[in-house]
A and B are shown apart, each in its own frame.
Chain A
């Protein structure tokens, strides 16, 4: 069955027009990812209007191509100029730039490109195999479970995306509220339109996303008048030829780093809220800890390039697993992808892969094919990148603002959407300035109606609210939401307060309860393992005499 679907997907995508569009998408993504300040999410969201007129598989394949290109584009700027093109490639600069400065920019680029390819391939394989399995689990979800899943996604995003949990949660709540404006989907009553007919249709969520994210980011990029007039070429060397063979040899030698980092990337992607910006730092840190020569990290060691680049490409595979199987976007970029799917009347859910297998597998295969295209196009796009680096930031910003206007209007042919773009652009800019993370707000906007509809469905079944706390999956998401909300507090007080010694064991014991309640054989076994893990952690702390160990918290940067 899987083979049939894969073949059908290949047939769907295997025409000249789609292949050409995918190549253009990958090339565009590579350049967008390479430009500091121009994030992958921006590239994906700005591509959206171009895909309206295309058939769903073609449009979605183009979007996936931009995404894959963007994930790999950041390494060019990071290695050659020392400025990461995207937050996902921050750690690449730690060793990539020193290696380039030591006279091996071609090798550094080669390692980066082949690591990206390997990470993408591993995550693509996991995407194809895991997404249908996760969708099968998703079929067990009832409205109570879905509602709690959304709450969990919002909570963990808020706790991971900024320094202040309260600000993150406020941003998420504002996002949920923004989605309530207009006619409600359940009974069609007007809400918060204040007598304005244009508000009855609500805010178009693509216009909101472009405003919040792209518009506000561009304005930040041109805030400093002097910096806005500079081009990238003033900040490093951009002339290099990728050394493919040497890079493959290096990767073969460090294959364990590739596999470990890719797995870190996939699982970070599966976790809502944690995107490439978290994965690349995490993988770099793990590679350093596992290395026999950790002191070489930061001086231009190949492992320091392999780890972040494998992981950041693997992240989106993980995020797509959850998006395709459950309809829940893991990060901002996945939220943009959800927007793309909805525009093409594709509503991801646990039944989606079973009901629309060809379309679902077209997306999976597009991820595969785009990863190969990325490999082939990197050498060519390096030359284009040299040209792009001569463009000044203010020119890019002004032109893209113009494009935003045309693109947003084209979504619904409604002028009001342009005003939505402006107001949410201002809101996003102000929120960034005041330290409110945008990722929870974007997820709030995207998930707002899913939460409300599932709440309405749950209330229609029974007005009793106890299933939110007694159904195993609902309870599971509630418990992980509570522990993820407490995580920033745990990080802040770790090694300082006694209660932090009980955080992990308590989390293990609490999570095991709904797992036991789920019944069957594998889940109670998993619950037993989790309980054993918690008991071991508790015993280890008791053996140490409840001593507070010195640890260092990692600060996590919001994903762009």
Chain B
């Protein structure tokens, strides 16, 4: 997708986003008191954002294909190429999502150590030498931080069902 299309698509997405949020401002309850209604400021911001999005859209359409995104030569075309190119950030997002989703069960200590250990292996490779190193790094780093917050700063971090059982 060249820059023209990409920027225009982003501008349209922004306009749709503004529309949805503007619609949602009608759900905000208006009290009988106060001069500035709770919906006024969001509407002002949405108005400005919509106006800027229109300018962005016009700019991207007028630019045409003059200014195109420099292509990364190492990137394969197609969805497979896109996934391969962005695989590390995608893994990070995906694993963090799993970490949060399993937090009630695993808790912050087990979940955190597991998250860092798996992420280290995904990013650095799964060979035997790395496996030991990554396990040690995850355990020391997250275990140390968990201990510091729990025992040093007195912060109650989520124990999860497993640790909670003990």
- Give A contacts to B, CB under 8 Å: 49-50, 52-53, 166-167, 169-170, 173-174, 176-177, 180, 184, 186-187, 189-192, 194, 218-220, 222-225, 228-229, 392, 394-395, 397-399, 401-403, 405-406, 409-410, 413, 415, 418-419, 422, 425-426, 429, 434, 451-452, 455-456, 459-460, 463
Assess the A194–B88 pair: CB atoms within 8 A: no
Assess the B52–A459 pair: CB atoms within 8 A: no
Assess the A170–B52 pair: CB atoms within 8 A: yes
Assess the A398–B59 pair: CB atoms within 8 A: no
Residues of B within 8 A of A403 (CB): 141-142, 145
CA distance A183 to B100 in the complex (A): 25
Knowing A177-B45, A187-B38, A222-B89 touch, does A52 contact B153 (C-beta < 8 A)? yes
Q: Closest CB of chain A to B140's CB: distance in Å?
A: 9
Knowing A187-B33, A410-B149 touch, does A173 contact B52 (C-beta < 8 A)? yes
Residues of A within 8 A of B108 (CB): 405-406, 409
Residues of A within 8 A of B88 (CB): 219, 222-225, 228, 394
Knowing A53-B154, A189-B38, A452-B41 touch, does A177 contact B46 (C-beta < 8 A)? yes
Residue of B nearest to A426 (CB): B93
Assess the B31–A187 pair: CB atoms within 8 A: yes
Q: Closest CB of chain B to A355's CB: distance in Å?
A: 27
Residues of A within 8 A of B155 (CB): 52-53, 410, 413
Assess the B158–A415 pair: CB atoms within 8 A: yes
Looking at chain B's contact residues, is the secondary structure mostly helix, strand, loop, or mixed? helix
Knowing A53-B154, A401-B96, A406-B157 touch, does A186 contact B45 (C-beta < 8 A)? no
Assess the B141–A399 pair: CB atoms within 8 A: yes
Interface string of B136-166 (1 = CB under 8 A from A): 0110011001101100011111100000000
Assess the B42–A192 pair: CB atoms within 8 A: yes
Residue of B nearest to A54 (CB): B153
Residue of A nearest to B114 (CB): A402
The answer to whether B79 has its CB under 8 Å from any CB of chain A is: no
CA distance A174 to B103 in the complex (A): 30
Assess the A455–B157 pair: CB atoms within 8 A: no
CA distance A459 to B44 in the complex (A): 14
Residues of A within 8 A of B56 (CB): 166-167, 170
Of listed B28, B125, B154, residue having the most chain A CB within 10 A: B28
CA distance A418 to B111 in the complex (A): 13
Assess the A186–B36 pair: CB atoms within 8 A: yes
Q: Which of B10, B41, B154, B158 is A455 in contact with, Cβ under 8 Å?
A: B41
21 sampled A-B residue pairs with Cβ under 8 A = A166-B52, A180-B41, A180-B42, A192-B21, A218-B92, A222-B88, A222-B89, A228-B88, A229-B123, A398-B120, A399-B137, A401-B96, A402-B138, A402-B145, A422-B100, A425-B96, A452-B41, A456-B34, A456-B36, A459-B36, A460-B34
The answer to whether B124 has its CB under 8 Å from any CB of chain A is: yes
Q: Closest CB of chain B to A219's CB: distance in Å?
A: 4
Residues of A within 8 A of B99 (CB): 405
Assess the B123–A225 pair: CB atoms within 8 A: yes
Residues of B within 8 A of A223 (CB): 86, 88-89
Of all A-B residue pairs in the complex, the 4 with the closest CB atoms, nearest first, are A394-B123, A189-B38, A173-B49, A456-B36
Knowing A219-B89, A222-B89, A401-B92 touch, does A456 contact B35 (C-beta < 8 A)? yes
Assess the A422–B97 pair: CB atoms within 8 A: yes
Q: Closest CB of chain B to A287's CB: distance in Å?
A: 33
Interface size class of B (residues with CB under 8 A): 35 or more
Residues of B within 8 A of A180 (CB): 41-42, 45
The answer to whether B14 has its CB under 8 Å from any CB of chain A is: yes
CA distance A268 to B158 in the complex (A): 44
Q: Which of A394, A451, A460 is B35 in contact with, Cβ under 8 Å?
A: A460
Q: Which of A52, A173, A409, A434 is B6 in contact with, Cβ under 8 Å?
A: A434
Residues of A within 8 A of B53 (CB): 170
Of listed A189, A392, A460, residue having the most chain B CB within 10 A: A189
Residues of A within 8 A of B39 (CB): 191
Q: Which of B31, B87, B149 is A406 in contact with, Cβ under 8 Å?
A: B149
Q: Which of B35, B36, B115 is A402 in contact with, Cβ under 8 Å?
A: B115
CA distance A224 to B85 in the complex (A): 8
Assess the A401–B116 pair: CB atoms within 8 A: yes
Q: Closest CB of chain B to A554's CB: distance in Å?
A: 20
Residue of A nearest to B34 (CB): A187
Residues of A within 8 A of B29 (CB): 189-190
CA distance A281 to B93 in the complex (A): 35
Q: Closest CB of chain A to B53's CB: distance in Å?
A: 7
CA distance A174 to B148 in the complex (A): 36
**Apart from A394-B120, A405-B99, A422-B96: 11 A-B pairs, beta carbons within 8 A:** A166-B59, A169-B48, A170-B56, A177-B49, A180-B45, A186-B38, A191-B39, A192-B21, A398-B120, A415-B100, A418-B103
Q: Closest CB of chain B to A410's CB: distance in Å?
A: 5
Q: Closest CB of chain B to A56's CB: distance in Å?
A: 16
CA distance A184 to B25 in the complex (A): 13
CA distance A9 to B116 in the complex (A): 41
CA distance A327 to B138 in the complex (A): 39
